[in-house]
Amino acid sequence: MERKEQKIIEREYVIPLREKCRPVARYKKTNKAVKSVKEFLARHMKIYDRDLDKIKLDIQLNEFLWARGIKNPPHKVRVKAVKEGDIVHVELVDYPEKLKFKKLRLEKREEKAKVGKKPVVKKEESKETEKSKEKIEEKKEFEEDKASVIEEGEKISKEKAKTAKKTTKVKSPEKVEAEIKEPQAK
């Protein structure tokens, strides 16, 4: 038995969202927009049972839909859908400026993660980092010294309080009254 080769189907669509989102309550409009994108793709990419869990939206597409808040989704969106087996991956075609930079930043981060190398540090930067590390260590030492001085001061004050307690005896008010009435003859 030979396996059928999985066909990869790529298509671009302009999905209208205005009609689907118009009758929905304000606080549900963007949620409905996301759902209507999935429904549109399930219908046009021929997903069995129209299962919306088999459609995976790209991060940038989701952010594009949510960029103007929950009450005001875009009226239409242009997407590229790639069907691999049963699962459809959907990504945005026309990126606004804000999302272009965000996507580039994420791609760079992924490349660095794949390579697993840290970026090369220049000598000047390494000197600066060494100086900053030394400053941090000095601050830690200072904080430790400060804490030890405070602890010593607290110990000394406790000892003084104990000795003062032992030497001075507090007389009850009844004894003081009795001494006033009957002075002691010495």
16-61 residue pLDDT tens: 999 999 999 999 999 999 999 999 999 999 988 889 999 999 989 9
Q: Indicate the angle between helix axes 29-44 and 59-66, nearest 10 degrees.
A: 140
Residue linked to tokens 């991060």: 59
C-alpha of 19 from chain center: 35
Q: Give the mean pLDDT of 156-175.
A: 73
What is the sign, positive or negative, of the torsion defined by CA atoms of 18, 24, 27, 28? negative
Mean pLDDT score across all residues of the chain: 84
* C-alpha pair distances (Å), 168 with each of 62, 149, 163, 173: 76, 29, 9, 15
CATH 3.10.20.30 fits 8-115, yes or no: no
pLDDT, average across residues 86-115: 87
Angle (CA) 116 119 125, round 5°: 150
pLDDT (tens digit, 9 = 90+) per residue, 128-163? 777 788 888 888 888 888 888 888 888 888 888 877
- Specify the pTM: 0.56
Q: Taking the domains of the chain in order of start, what are their residue ranges?
A: 8-115, 123-181
